[in-house]
Structure 1
Amino acid sequence: MSTTNRGQLATSGNSNGSQNKNNDENAESIIPTVPVKPIGIAKNVSNGKYVFPDIKKEDIWNARMFLKYYGVRDFLDKFLPNELNSLYLYFLIKLLGFESKDRLLVKLVQENVEEKIMPGFEYTYTSIDDPLEKKYTIRLIKDLQKAMNKILSTRMRLLNFYTIDHFATRLLRAKNIIVLTGAGVSTSLGIPDFRSSEGFYSQIKHLGLDDPQDVFNYEIFMKDPSIFYSIANMVLPAKHNWSLLHSFIAMLSQKGKLLRNYTQNIDNLEAYAGIPKAKLVQCHGSFATASCVTCHWSLPGEKIFDNIKRVELPLCPHCYKKRKQLMTAFKRRQEGIIESHDEDDWDPKMDESTIKSYGVLKPDITFFGEALPSKFHRSLKEDISKCDMLICIGTSLKVAPVSEIVNMVPARAPQILINRAPVKHAIFDLSLLGFCDGIAALVTKKCGWEIEHSDWKTYANKNYQLEEREKGTYDVITSA
């Protein structure tokens, strides 16, 4: 068989024609194209050398998306012919955007491949003899597996979703939005975030902890709860006061678009703003309730707010008497004074760390060292496959497992970041950088909606300018 055209990647439209047409009309088609036929590598009959098909950026994107969208089995079935040699494996690795690190292998491939089809020569696509030794085939199989695993574990940016108009258009028809929120959604209320230069952790360096995060370490709390309560007032929620951004999420719920709000915040402001309990997952717990670390008696969190404001330990009334006895007996033992009745109060298993936390009421915040609430895992299992949009707001995505949500949602679901600074270790289709409340107002206006909040008119009447840093990343500048 002779040919004058270099081998190409043959593709066709997806079988769901009506859906593709619909998506194309909205410039948001995200379903990868299915190849008409498997990869074809041409062979020069005269010299035995091969010619690879051309690879464009769009081909790499499509191959990666196909793998993520349809899975490994369909990917290999659609892209590879039934009869192949090791060069097909090498080419498929390149089609996914990778290159083998074995220099000798790459050199051998280059020796057996010519750059393009030469006019006047005869080429065939049916010869399957392998120019490489079996050991290289095994190496290529391993490299291909690594490449596929890398793709499957890494999110890809959607080609046709990169502007705020794309966001607004998709928001209007989305039905199962996951909103992931962090401390940045509450900073407009005077509640500090955690990791910025002026955040909570930078403000508690005076405590002398090896790591400021240790203020939320469960083991340290049990040894000395006064460390946490010396600064707890700094993160105490403002009762029944929430931001425009909180109301934006509540609005999505009212419109039947919110699948779930996964919040890393402990201030319980989402609940105050009216986000239904069924739609809210407080991943790290909250101040909404508190429990005794000894008897596990529970009470509304607001009952200990006065203690927190006075920087004092809130104590369980059911454990108070026993705590007092233990503290007295322990103090006497330290002083070398042991009275007979102290032995009745003393538990030989007790030590100073146990006594300090005995009967202390702890907000039901998930400290480092504690398991996340079961609702987090249960809800995530239900929600991931349903998600049609992920909006991450006011978070640096530094704390697992919540930060892993960005890698779990379907590849077809657009991901948007609303934050003061970019998050470089995650891949978002659209990043809007600025103040959360203002960006929420801008997006709401583009959708033709209004937010029920006392600050709505103030933010709605502001002027907003978008300055592009790079494709899909914008600084949102606010002016009066």
Structure 2
Amino acid sequence: MASPRSSAKTRLQKGKIVEPRVHILKDGSLSAVAEYIKEGKAKNIIVMSGAGISTAAGIKDFRSPGTGLYDDLEKYNLPYPEAVFDISFFKDNPSPFFRLAKELLPGRYRPTFTHYLLPLLARKGLLLRSYTQNIDMLERLTGLDDELLVEAHGSFATSQCIKCEVVTDSKWVRKHILKSSIPYCETCGGLVKPTITFFGEDLPARFGRLALQDFKKCDLLIVLGTSLQVEPFNRLITRVGPECPRLLINREKAGEEMHGGFDFDDKWKYPTVRDAVFLGNCDDGVRELAKLCGWEGELQAMFEAGNIEMQIAEEMEALSLAAELEEAVAVANEAEKEAEEEAEEKAEKEAKKGARKEAKKEIEKETKREAKKEAVAVEPETKRPLQKKEEGKEKEGRQKETPAEKDVPSEDDVVQQLSERLLSTDLNAASETFTAADEILAVSTESVVVVTTIVDTKEAPKPAQV
């Protein structure tokens, strides 16, 4: 490393002569940083980044007045904006986070021009490590080696149960997020969330381990798109050596209030003058830095190639999703068909069952009708003894009638009998012991008696009816 520049003037502090201030950079501009790089003084560059590098991708940052994500969280009815990332609040009410996660979910956005500065520095062998607060995983999509990346606040790359700490399938959690549903652990029933570091949680162990060694080696710190308000991430800028130059590319100045923080306006009068700033969009600042370093064309080519790859990947994913959707529709149709067939089969069974019931009823009715017919047919037989009994009674009643009435023949019968007797009598027969005249007299007498009897019988009073 070349010797730092020193001012010609010495400083007086409380009446004592103090060593002159050392200028690591000639001034606080991008060109001074570019010159530092081109001179070969930056061999272990650390890049710290925040939400500001992703705004060009369409992802809102958190704290920009009027446009930041925290200003857009009123619809979630939070007690305070940061509650959406507060672990205590999350345990009681996880719904706001998962509704927000649907908007932040990786796969909807592409890396920006700024993101491709990281693989460019890595290609040139200048990147020691990239430390990011972002959870959008856009650094990964540039092709940056995972070993060169520290996601200080975690990411959607993995998911874990907050109760039993079992690591779960991120694709499974992603499906829940897309469906606006809350995932619960299949092992213990606890809440499952992406391994994003919430307020109240410790940062990943890898962050602390690597930060301890990396910032001692750093010879150029580039801070991109962050307000440096979240600890302990913001404190990283104080860990580099006192002669390590620092560059901030952001829409506004940040990190000036903490001890050992930036000193853009020479407020703190540090022994070394090493801080530079570019106020504006990250993409504009990075493009200007790349241009000053002679890397603009290379960076632009990487950005365009990356977009083409992303487009192809998105199209492939779209085709895959379409195939999955088609398969899901086919499965749903098949299930619906099976359900319809099952319903038809069930209806047919019910119909057959109903028909059997009706047939059984008809058989029962027919059986009853046949039994009734048989009963009707048998009824005279069963009543015959009774009829005979009645006939016997009637006969007995007739027998109780007066003998004279019972034995008296009708007038016609008597006349017929007498006539026959008269005609059969032989008036010339001599052998008879009595004469014909006597026979006629006897018949006549008998006729009178019979007629008299008939008349008397008819005139006799009938017995009273009981």
Q: How does the TM-score come out when normalised to structure 1?
A: 0.55
Q: How does 1:404-423 map to 2 (within 5 A)?
A: 404-423=235-254
Could you tell me how far apart the structure 2 residues matched to 1:300 and 1:280 are?
22
Residue in structure 1 matched with residue 47 of structure 2 by the alignment: 179
Deviation at 1:240, TM superposition (A): 7.2
8 Å CA contact 1:393–1:419 kept in 2: the answer is: yes
Q: Which runs of 5+ in 1 are unaligned?
A: 1-18, 24-28, 34-55, 64-88, 98-150, 320-357, 459-480
8 Å CA contact 2:87–2:199 kept in 1: the answer is: yes
Pair 444,303 (structure 1): closer, same or farther in 2 beyond 3 Å: farther
8 Å CA contact 2:25–2:32 kept in 1: the answer is: no
Select the residue among 274, 277, 281 that pairs with 1:431: 277
Could you tell me how far apart the structure 2 residues matched to 1:397 and 1:232 are?
23
Pair 403,96 (structure 1): closer, same or farther in 2 beyond 3 Å: farther
8 Å CA contact 1:192–1:235 kept in 2: the answer is: no
Kindly indicate whether residue 291 of structure 2 is the aligned counterpart of residue 445 of structure 1.
Answer: yes
Pair 157,359 (structure 1): closer, same or farther in 2 beyond 3 Å: farther
Pair 457,224 (structure 1): closer, same or farther in 2 beyond 3 Å: closer
Deviation at 1:157, TM superposition (A): 7.4
Pair 204,252 (structure 1): closer, same or farther in 2 beyond 3 Å: same
**2:114 partner SS:** helix
Q: How does 1:69-468 map to 2 (within 5 A)?
A: 90-92=14-16, 95=18, 158=24, 160-172=26-38, 173=40, 174-197=42-65, 198-238=67-107, 241-319=110-188, 358-423=189-254, 424-425=256-257, 426-428=262-264, 429-449=275-295, 450-451=298-299, 452-455=301-304
Deviation at 1:159, TM superposition (A): 5.7
**Amino acid corresponding to residue 245 of structure 2 in structure 1:** P
Pair 186,432 (structure 1): closer, same or farther in 2 beyond 3 Å: same
Pair 300,427 (structure 1): closer, same or farther in 2 beyond 3 Å: farther
**2:15 partner SS:** helix
**2:247 partner SS:** strand
Pair 369,157 (structure 1): closer, same or farther in 2 beyond 3 Å: farther
8 Å CA contact 1:289–1:299 kept in 2: the answer is: yes
Could you tell me how far apart the structure 2 residues matched to 1:457 and 1:441 are?
16
**1:384 partner SS:** helix
Could you tell me how far apart the structure 2 residues matched to 1:364 and 1:453 are?
30
Between the aligned residues of both structures, percent identity stands at: 36
Residue in structure 2 matched with residue 59 of structure 1 by the alignment: 10
Residue in structure 1 matched with residue 409 of structure 2 by the alignment: none
Deviation at 1:282, TM superposition (A): 0.7
User: Residue by residue, what CA displacement relative to the aligned partner does 1:5-45 show, whole Å, maximum 9, x if unpaired?
Assistant: xxxxxxxxxxxxxx7xx55xxxxx34x68xxxxxxxxxxxx
User: Residue by residue, what CA displacement relative to the aligned partner does 1:58-105 show, whole Å, maximum 9, x if unpaired?
Assistant: 423xx8xxxxxxxxxxxxxxxxxxxxxxxxx9423x8599xxxxxxxx
8 Å CA contact 1:392–1:418 kept in 2: the answer is: yes
Pair 238,189 (structure 1): closer, same or farther in 2 beyond 3 Å: farther
**1:411 partner SS:** coil
8 Å CA contact 2:116–2:303 kept in 1: the answer is: no
**Amino acid corresponding to residue 277 of structure 2 in structure 1:** S
8 Å CA contact 1:264–1:283 kept in 2: the answer is: yes
| RMSD, aligned α-carbons | 2.8
User: Residue by residue, what CA displacement relative to the aligned partner does 1:385-416 show, whole Å, maximum 9, x if unpaired?
Assistant: 21100000000000111101111111111100
**2:186 partner SS:** coil
8 Å CA contact 1:388–1:414 kept in 2: the answer is: yes
**1:453 partner SS:** helix
Pair 292,210 (structure 1): closer, same or farther in 2 beyond 3 Å: same
Pair 362,207 (structure 1): closer, same or farther in 2 beyond 3 Å: same
**2:115 partner SS:** helix
Could you tell me how far apart the structure 1 residues matched to 2:109 and 2:141 are?
6
Pair 385,165 (structure 1): closer, same or farther in 2 beyond 3 Å: same
**Amino acid corresponding to residue 64 of structure 2 in structure 1:** S
Q: Which runs of 5+ in 2 are unaligned?
A: 265-274, 308-466
Q: Who wins on radius of gyration, i.e. which is larger? A: 2
**1:362 partner SS:** strand
8 Å CA contact 1:287–1:302 kept in 2: the answer is: no
The number of residue pairs the alignment matches comes to 286
Q: How does 1:6-85 map to 2 (within 5 A)?
A: 23=3, 29-30=4-5, 58-60=9-11
Could you tell me how far apart the structure 1 residues matched to 2:251 and 2:304 are?
20
Could you tell me how far apart the structure 1 residues matched to 2:248 and 2:23 are?
13
Could you tell me how far apart the structure 1 residues matched to 2:49 and 2:57 are?
15
* More divergent stretch after superposition (276-285 vs 232-241): 232-241
Could you tell me how far apart the structure 1 residues matched to 2:215 and 2:48 are?
13
Residue in structure 2 matched with residue 15 of structure 1 by the alignment: none
User: Residue by residue, what CA displacement relative to the aligned partner does 1:112-168 show, whole Å, maximum 9, x if unpaired?
Assistant: xxxxxxxxxxxxxxxxxxxxxxxxxxxxxxxxxxxxxxx9xxxx9746242222211
Deviation at 1:171, TM superposition (A): 2.2
Could you tell me how far apart the structure 1 residues matched to 2:128 and 2:171 are?
28
* More divergent stretch after superposition (282-291 vs 271-280): 271-280
8 Å CA contact 2:219–2:245 kept in 1: the answer is: yes
**Amino acid corresponding to residue 85 of structure 2 in structure 1:** F
Pair 238,262 (structure 1): closer, same or farther in 2 beyond 3 Å: same
Residue in structure 1 matched with residue 331 of structure 2 by the alignment: none
**2:129 partner SS:** strand
**1:431 partner SS:** strand
- Which one has the bigger helix percentage? 2
